[in-house]
């Protein structure tokens, strides 16, 4: 299929490039992944990150707590902030409800915030300043750039306004002079927006939310959603949309691998930020 935005292939190329870039770093880069509670999907994501980190020669520390008080967790993060051998820290989401996610994320030193989710890094992103950009939006922008997708003046529709994906993407695309509309669960008549989109990005978590009648002929579609059904993975966009799309990301093999490689790039960038 030649109308695929092939995140798997691009991420492998980026991995080779990253390997060359980190050859000159004499310190061992260390990524700490903090998880709390029991979430099956989380375990899979942590394993993927660990595998990629180790294959690049990074240290990977999985700090798992079955249960932990908020104050204790914040203390743990502060210790990691102070530790010069730690390059990057990520908090695996979702956290259990009893923990204040925002408070915990904002305890991370912004220069070690390789998921780019602290308020400080979000403000940098709004101000177009160099900083650590959230991994999924960064991966999507890299993929669009790789396929030389012209964004200037294009009609872009994002469905889903999460702080993790939709909201940072809105700003990144606006910074590239696209005309961006951000839709969400309260949007009335979603199709009225999606059917005219030159670029449609869907990050909701609902299988088949977007069907072929909702997309424009010749459009570009980025499907962020991951939905598990009968041991298989599906996106938010029905596969029939490929018949109309000029280019579309597959699930799996689209946005997922781009997210993981972007995290690894952020670890390298965090190292240089801390050395400044
Ligand atoms: N491939 C990857 O690397 C990757 C990375 C991150 C996430 N994901 C996947 O992407 C999906 C979304 O995750 P997320 O963290 O971005 O979002 P999220 O926090 O789960 O929020 C979902 C968003 O979708 C909106 N929404 C829900 N129902 C809708 C509907 N019927 N019509 C339009 N909008 C609707 C919600 O609107 P409200 O704000 O109004 O509630 C919200 O903004 C999940 O499947 C997740 O697993 C994949």
- CA of 147 relative to ligand 1 center, distance in Å: 25
Give the H or E element holding residue 248.
strand 247-248
Dist CA 213 CA 251 (whole Å): 20
C-beta separation of 224 from 137 below 8 A? no
For the CA of 204, the closest atom of ligand 1 is 24
C-beta separation of 89 from 270 below 8 A? no
- CA of 184 relative to ligand 1 center, distance in Å: 9
Dist CA 172 CA 76 (whole Å): 32
Mutate to test the pocket of ligand 1, among 203, 223, 253, 261 (most ligand atoms within 8 A of CB): 203
Candidates 176, 223, 173, 180; CA nearest to 202 is 223
Find the length of the chain. 276
Mutate to test the pocket of ligand 1, among 224, 237, 249, 252 (most ligand atoms within 8 A of CB): 224
Tell the CATH superfamily of the 135-255 domain: NAD(P)-binding Rossmann-like Domain (3.40.50.720)
Lining ligand 1 with CB less than 6 A are 136, 159-162, 164-166, 183-187, 190, 203-206, 209, 224-227, 255-256, 259
Q: Where are the domains positioned within the chain?
A: 28-109, 135-255
Dist CA 120 CA 110 (whole Å): 6
For the CA of 258, the closest atom of ligand 1 is 3
Give the model's pLDDT for residue 43.
86
- CA of 165 relative to ligand 1 center, distance in Å: 8
**Mean pLDDT across the chain:** 96
Give the model's pLDDT for residue 38.
85
- CA of 134 relative to ligand 1 center, distance in Å: 15
DSSP H stretches of helix in 2-134:
7-22, 40-55, 70-82, 101-105, 119-126
Mutate to test the pocket of ligand 1, among 165, 190, 209 (most ligand atoms within 8 A of CB): 165
Q: Which residue lies with its CA nearest to atom 44 of ligand 1? A: 205
Per-residue pLDDT of the chain (276 residues; tens, 9 = 90+): 679 999 999 999 999 999 999 999 999 999 999 999 988 888 888 999 999 999 999 999 999 999 999 999 999 999 999 999 999 999 999 999 999 999 999 999 999 999 999 999 999 999 988 889 999 999 999 999 999 999 999 999 999 999 999 999 999 999 999 999 999 999 999 999 999 999 999 999 999 999 999 999 999 999 999 999 998 999 999 999 999 999 999 999 999 999 999 999 999 999 999 998
What residues are labeled active site? 49, 92, 115
CATH number of 28-109: 3.40.50.10860
Give the model's pLDDT for residue 1.
60
Q: Which residue lies with its CA nearest to atom 1 of ligand 1? A: 256
Domains 28-109 and 135-255 belong to one CATH topology: yes
């Amino acid at each position: 299929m030649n109308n695929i935005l092939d995140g798997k292939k691009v991420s492998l190329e980026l991995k080779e490039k990253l390997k060359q870039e980190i050859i000159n770093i004499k310190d061992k880069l260390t990524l700490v992944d903090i998880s709390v509670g029991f979430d099956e999907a989380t375990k899979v994501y942590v394993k993927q990150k660990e595998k990629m980190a180790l294959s690049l020669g990074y240290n990977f520390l999985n700090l798992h707590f079955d249960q932990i008080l908020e104050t204790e967790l914040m203390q743990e993060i502060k210790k990691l902030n102070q530790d010069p051998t730690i390059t990057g820290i990520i908090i695996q989401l979702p956290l259990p409800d009893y923990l204040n996610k925002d408070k915990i994320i904002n305890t991370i030193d912004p220069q070690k915030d390789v998921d780019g989710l602290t308020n400080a890094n979000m403000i940098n992103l709004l101000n177009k300043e160099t900083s650590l950009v959230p991994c999924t939006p960064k991966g999507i922008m890299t993929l669009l750039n790789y396929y030389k997708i012209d964004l200037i003046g294009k009609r872009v529709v994002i469905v889903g306004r999460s702080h993790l994906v939709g909201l940072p993407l809105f700003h990144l695309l606006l910074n590239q002079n696209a005309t961006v509309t951000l839709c969400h669960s309260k949007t009335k008549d979603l199709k009225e927006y999606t059917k005219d989109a030159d670029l449609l990005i869907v990050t909701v978590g609902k299988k088949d939310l977007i069907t072929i009648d909702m997309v424009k002929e010749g459009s570009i579609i980025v499907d962020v959603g991951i939905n598990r059904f009968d041991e298989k993975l599906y996106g938010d966009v029905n596969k029939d949309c490929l018949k109309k799309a000029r280019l579309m990301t597959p699930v799996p093999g689209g946005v997922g691998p781009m997210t993981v490689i972007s995290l690894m790039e952020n670890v390298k960038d965090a190292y240089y930020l801390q050395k400044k």
